[in-house]
Chains A and B, each alone.
Chain A
Amino acid sequence: MSLLHLAILLPFIAAVFVPFLFKGFRSIHTGWFVLLVPLALFIYFIQYMPVTSSGQTVSQTFEWIPSLGINFTAYVDGLGLLFALLITGIGSLVVLYSIYYLAKEKEALHNFYVYLLMFMGAMLGVVLSDNLIVLYMFWEFTSISSFLLIGYWYDKERSRYGAQKSMLITVFGGLSMLGGIVLLYMMGGTFSIRELIGMSGELMTEPLFLFAMILILLGAFTKSAQFPFHVWLPDAMEAPTPVSAYLHSATMVKAGIYLVARMSPVFAESGVWLWLVAGFGIFTLFWGSFNAVKQTDLKGILAFSTVSQLGLIMSLLGLGAAALHFDTLDENMYMTATIAAVFHLINHATFKGSLFMMAGIVDHETGTRDIRKLGGLVNLMPITFTIAIIGSFSMAGLPPFNGFLSKEMFLTGMISVFELDLFNLNTWGILFPVLAWIASVFTFIYSIKLVFKTFLGKPQFDKLPKKPHEAPIGMLISPLVLVALVIIFGFFPNLLANSMIKPAVESILPSLTDAGQEVYVNIYFWHGFQPELFMTLGIILTGTLMYATLAKWQGIYNRIPERFTINGVYDRGIDRSESGSFKLNEFVMTGYMRSYLIYIFAFFVAILLSTLGIRDAFAVDTSNLAEIRIYEVALALVLVAGAITILFAKSRLTSIVLLGVVGYSVALFFVFFRAPDLALTQLVIETVSVALFLLCFYHLPEISRKEERMKFKFGNAVISVLVGVTVTLIAIASFSNHQAFESISQYHIDNVYDLAAGGNMVNVILVDFRGFDTLFEICVLGIAALGIYAMVNFRGARGQKR
């Protein structure tokens, strides 16, 4: 385990200490301690910048489950480092902001920071691991921690709804992705992304290739809120604003972007990849920006805006994949799309982060985020206004901010679709620049609306729950840093070109740089009177016109009936599945032990008997039988007699004692056949369970007369006979077939002393050879005990509520 691994795990380790810090130092805001973690990590990761910008990568492996090909390989290249710096950099600012946003007296800060740190670590794990299974594990960690963060104010119904929605959708995508990963493993025989990239050509010829691609894309699309999975993102805005700024704009939702970028070299040879990624991206861009205009909640606008901007980056990545079809870098215009994607990724994190923080400030200082109630705040909150205007002008793509530059590059990329004569893009391809232009107009409108409705216009302070005033300085630092970056990147775009953008682009398009060529990144501020400049002018003109006449055409939003929206589909789906599960549950879970046993035994008999039949595995071999000794016969008779007597027992006490007889007899059999470990276990278990029965005996009702004279039930009789027959058949068959294959016990006999220095094979198997089984078993036992504890102790509480 190297320092790099520890860096990835540091947030998890730190999270363990947060509750103690919260309880131990009540007078200091816990956030101050937490702030050290992302700061330290940011400084640590900065050190890798010279390495990646010179085109090198760092890879550290430690073996985790080597027999399954699962190793924790930390891999730092341009793309991974870019994300790591975003996660820790924006993370530091968000933690700093949250210190002022969340009051230490009122909030459950220990929970909040544990979740946040968990999320940070998970995100670092996603972007810095080369092994797909490890990546998947961290990926699901981000889903879980984001679920916890969205539901942070869990006493609010909307929070719970949003948390559940995001969980259901992203975990659905995650599981699909796992399927895709398994398919890739079946085709390539490795979980390592770099090795898969190396064999992308061979993978393409596999029949399952397309299927794997779609499954992986499902994971990426759900996480990055692409249409039609974007519905969870607006509801996720119920989370505290620092969370929205962090998870839902700067990092987590970009995990999908990361995945697409990372897997591009594997899949991009196929044209389907280009169509799917670029197509879904451009439509999401349009749909998100179109819907953002109708929102009245500040965070609602920003949520839809995030959806649309993610679509923008996605479409650029899809288009950039076309670059892999060309071998030379000269005149490779599709590479521009990838550069634009990476550049916009950085820009989006800066301006969207600052805007979310601005929305949080407005909410914090006025008590509302509803733009219908806000207005005229400019005189009271001049600094916040400055932040808002820079952030949203950058979002709208206006000069001189960084958003303008990446927007121009985006338009260049979209226009270049025409030049692409691959895959018939020149016919349907016209949709790309058209949709891009329309979406940009809507982006312009909502960006303007966001600032003007909040800060300008008629003041209506009487509608506000609080008397507005400027935020404390601590709250303003983080957004000010971010808008400073917006301006700096706007004026000096090439500041990042060689250190961050170039290495990232090189890792997205590795085949281009294999020949020793270098990607050339140079972002112009003034690029002459190109078509994209005229498109921008058109956007500004049309946008201003449409914003001025907003009241006249706003009605079209009401034309879309609720029934046909994706939200409606989701809600109805949840409703139906809830009522369906409830009905199924009513039907299956009767509350009687005997019904459950019937299901279990029927299933057991069906599976085993049919396997015996299909495999033709039943055989009787009477040679080589051991002789039967007289005390074994006696013991068997006792056992059978005990079992049969239970059926006719008239009181519970008798049945408990008889059950004990059966159990101890079995234990004696273990003694006879030299299995002392089993015998010991069985004896103690028997003792403890009889004691347990006696404990609850007092509370159990008497066996009623009805049960005593219970009718002979044909179905039950059939099942019980069948169970007996199955077990007998299997015992005979396994004895008769035992020469058919080699027993695994020889391996253990040979190795038990050499490998584990143990004399007791059973125990060595338990702790050494199959320690994982034991670990999971004790987990199951623990869960069972907790379940019993919860059922018995909270039964009363629930009953009272009803």
Chain B
Amino acid sequence: MKKKPNDLILQTVTTVISFIIILFSINLFFAGHYTPGGGFIGGLMTAAALVLLLLAYDIKTLNTILPFDYRLMTAAGLLIAVLTGAGALLFNEPFLTHAYDYFDLPLLGETSLHTAVLFDIGVYLVVIGITMTIIQTIGESE
């Protein structure tokens, strides 16, 4: 029988910190086209936040907070990435050709929108999906 662990400080800090990390990771993800970041790092960062939650609590608690099927997330990410690539075919462009343009958006002002972001969302989801699948699988097994 294991002793009840004393990790009150870790848990309290984690609840706050993990949100900051996730927000930071989203920032990293969107900033990726111009400054360091992007789907890969953003995804890893989010996964790191989840891992932190997982260490502070446990797998079961994490599953009740964020009831995701991470294998499904991986598949969805792959699908998004492939479909973004295939989307170019509809416009008679080669596979994985990206397009961008500048738009005037309310609040944001002039913003450039890229189809590459969609592809990156796929990468982002795949990275979170596989990291969490691996960690969950190994963590849950006896």
A interface residue numbers (CB < 8 A to B): 1, 62-66, 676-677, 680-681, 684-685, 687-688, 691-692, 694-696, 699, 756-760, 762-764, 766-768, 771-772, 774-775, 778-779, 781-782, 784-786, 788-789, 792-793
Assembly CA distance A135 to B114 (angstroms)? 33
* Known contacts A64-B89, A760-B37, A781-B126, A771 near B78 by CB under 8 Å: no
Cross-chain contact B126 with A782 (CB below 8 angstroms)? yes
Cross-chain contact A766 with B40 (CB below 8 angstroms)? yes
Q: Residues 60-96 of chain B: 1 if any A CB is under 8 Å from the residue's CB, otherwise 0? A: 0000000000010011011001100100011011111
Cross-chain contact A767 with B78 (CB below 8 angstroms)? no
> Which residues of A have CB within 8 Å of B12?
none
Question: Can you list 7 contacts pairing A with B, beta carbon distance less than 8 Å?
Answer: A677-B37, A680-B28, A681-B41, A688-B135, A694-B55, A696-B139, A756-B116
Assembly CA distance A775 to B135 (angstroms)? 22
Cross-chain contact B82 with A687 (CB below 8 angstroms)? no
Q: Is B6 an interface residue (CB 8 A)?
A: no
* Known contacts A681-B40, A760-B36, A782-B130, A771 near B119 by CB under 8 Å: yes
Q: Is B26 an interface residue (CB 8 A)?
A: no
Cross-chain contact B71 with A789 (CB below 8 angstroms)? yes
Closest to A789 in B: B137
> Which residues of A have CB within 8 Å of B139?
695-696
Closest to A795 in B: B141
Assembly CA distance A148 to B32 (angstroms)? 43
A669 to chain B, nearest CB (A): 16
Cross-chain contact A775 with B81 (CB below 8 angstroms)? yes
Assembly CA distance A755 to B4 (angstroms)? 58
Query: Pick the contact of A760 from B34, B98, B127 — CB < 8 Å?
Result: B34
Assembly CA distance A779 to B133 (angstroms)? 14
Please give me the 6 A-B residue pairs with the lowest Cβ-Cβ distance, nearest first: A759-B34, A785-B130, A763-B38, A676-B36, A684-B44, A778-B126
Cross-chain contact B129 with A785 (CB below 8 angstroms)? yes
B18 to chain A, nearest CB (A): 13
Closest to B112 in A: A757
- Total number of A-B contacts with CB less than 8 angstroms? 157
Query: Pick the contact of A758 from B34, B119, B135, B137 — CB < 8 Å?
Result: B34
Cross-chain contact B45 with A774 (CB below 8 angstroms)? no
> Which residues of B have CB within 8 Å of A695?
135, 138-139
Q: Residues 99-142 of chain B: 1 if any A CB is under 8 Å from the residue's CB, otherwise 0? A: 01000000000001010100110110011011101110111011
Assembly CA distance A215 to B95 (angstroms)? 30
A442 to chain B, nearest CB (A): 50
> Which residues of A have CB within 8 Å of B116?
756, 758, 764, 767-768, 771
Query: Pick the contact of B123 from A64, A762, A774 — CB < 8 Å?
Result: A774
> Which residues of B have CB within 8 Å of A681?
40-41, 44
Query: Pick the contact of B135 from A63, A692, A774 — CB < 8 Å?
Result: A692
Cross-chain contact B96 with A692 (CB below 8 angstroms)? no
Query: Pick the contact of A692 from B78, B90, B119, B138 — CB < 8 Å?
Result: B138
* Known contacts A757-B112, A774-B123, A778-B78, A691 near B135 by CB under 8 Å: yes
Assembly CA distance A703 to B66 (angstroms)? 36
Cross-chain contact B96 with A771 (CB below 8 angstroms)? yes
* Known contacts A767-B120, A775-B85, A692 near B134 by CB under 8 Å: yes
Closest to A778 in B: B126
Cross-chain contact A687 with B48 (CB below 8 angstroms)? yes
Query: Pick the contact of A778 from B38, B127, B142 — CB < 8 Å?
Result: B127
Cross-chain contact A775 with B82 (CB below 8 angstroms)? yes
Assembly CA distance A66 to B78 (angstroms)? 24
Given pairs A688-B47, A772-B96, A789-B134, 16 additional interface contacts (CB within 8 A): A63-B92, A66-B94, A684-B45, A684-B47, A684-B48, A685-B44, A688-B44, A688-B131, A694-B55, A763-B37, A763-B120, A766-B39, A774-B81, A782-B77, A785-B74, A785-B130
Question: Chain A contact residues: over half helix, strand or loop, or mixed?
Answer: helix
Closest to B33 in A: A758
Cross-chain contact B92 with A62 (CB below 8 angstroms)? yes
Assembly CA distance A684 to B42 (angstroms)? 10
Query: Pick the contact of A788 from B51, B123, B138, B142 — CB < 8 Å?
Result: B138
> Which residues of B have CB within 8 Å of A684?
41, 44-45, 47-48
Interface residue tally for chain B (C-beta within 8 Å): 55
Assembly CA distance A459 to B48 (angstroms)? 76
Assembly CA distance A788 to B139 (angstroms)? 12
Assembly CA distance A482 to B81 (angstroms)? 45
Cross-chain contact A687 with B123 (CB below 8 angstroms)? no
> Which residues of B have CB within 8 Å of A1?
89-90, 92
Cross-chain contact B134 with A785 (CB below 8 angstroms)? yes
Assembly CA distance A695 to B135 (angstroms)? 8
> Which residues of B have CB within 8 Å of A696?
138-139
> Which residues of A have CB within 8 Å of B33?
756-760, 763-764
Assembly CA distance A684 to B133 (angstroms)? 17
> Which residues of A have CB within 8 Å of B90?
1
Closest to B77 in A: A778
Cross-chain contact A793 with B141 (CB below 8 angstroms)? yes
Assembly CA distance A775 to B81 (angstroms)? 7
* Known contacts A62-B89, A768-B116, A772-B96, A789 near B133 by CB under 8 Å: yes
Cross-chain contact A778 with B96 (CB below 8 angstroms)? no
Closest to A775 in B: B81
> Which residues of A have CB within 8 Å of B137?
788-789, 792-793
> Which residues of B have CB within 8 Å of A63?
92-94
Cross-chain contact B38 with A767 (CB below 8 angstroms)? yes
* Known contacts A695-B139, A782-B130, A680 near B41 by CB under 8 Å: yes
Assembly CA distance A62 to B75 (angstroms)? 28
Assembly CA distance A734 to B66 (angstroms)? 47
Assembly CA distance A695 to B133 (angstroms)? 13
> Which residues of B have CB within 8 Å of A65?
94-95
> Which residues of B have CB within 8 Å of A763?
32-33, 37-38, 120
> Which residues of B have CB within 8 Å of A687?
48, 51
Closest to B89 in A: A1
Assembly CA distance A771 to B81 (angstroms)? 10
Cross-chain contact B98 with A756 (CB below 8 angstroms)? yes
Cross-chain contact B36 with A680 (CB below 8 angstroms)? yes
Assembly CA distance A699 to B137 (angstroms)? 13
A687 to chain B, nearest CB (A): 5
> Which residues of B have CB within 8 Å of A775?
81-82, 85, 96
A726 to chain B, nearest CB (A): 28
Assembly CA distance A774 to B74 (angstroms)? 14
> Which residues of A have CB within 8 Å of B81?
774-775, 778
Assembly CA distance A75 to B34 (angstroms)? 43
> Which residues of A have CB within 8 Å of B130?
781-782, 784-785
Closest to A763 in B: B38
Cross-chain contact B74 with A691 (CB below 8 angstroms)? no
Cross-chain contact A778 with B122 (CB below 8 angstroms)? yes
Closest to B31 in A: A760
Closest to B130 in A: A785
Assembly CA distance A785 to B37 (angstroms)? 23
> Which residues of A have CB within 8 Å of B41?
677, 680-681, 684
B59 to chain A, nearest CB (A): 9
> Which residues of B have CB within 8 Å of A699?
141-142
* Known contacts A684-B44, A767-B116, A785-B74, A677 near B36 by CB under 8 Å: yes
A497 to chain B, nearest CB (A): 38
> Which residues of A have CB within 8 Å of B98?
756, 767-768, 771
Assembly CA distance A55 to B25 (angstroms)? 61
> Which residues of B have CB within 8 Å of A759?
33-35
With most chain B CB atoms within 10 A of its CB, the pick from A64, A681, A762, A768 is A768
A54 to chain B, nearest CB (A): 28
Cross-chain contact B78 with A779 (CB below 8 angstroms)? yes
Assembly CA distance A789 to B41 (angstroms)? 23
* Known contacts A778-B77, A778-B126, A792-B141, A767 near B119 by CB under 8 Å: yes
> Which residues of A have CB within 8 Å of B138?
692, 695-696, 788, 792
Assembly CA distance A25 to B142 (angstroms)? 42
* Known contacts A65-B94, A692-B134, A757-B114, A782 near B36 by CB under 8 Å: no
Assembly CA distance A681 to B37 (angstroms)? 9
Assembly CA distance A95 to B71 (angstroms)? 35
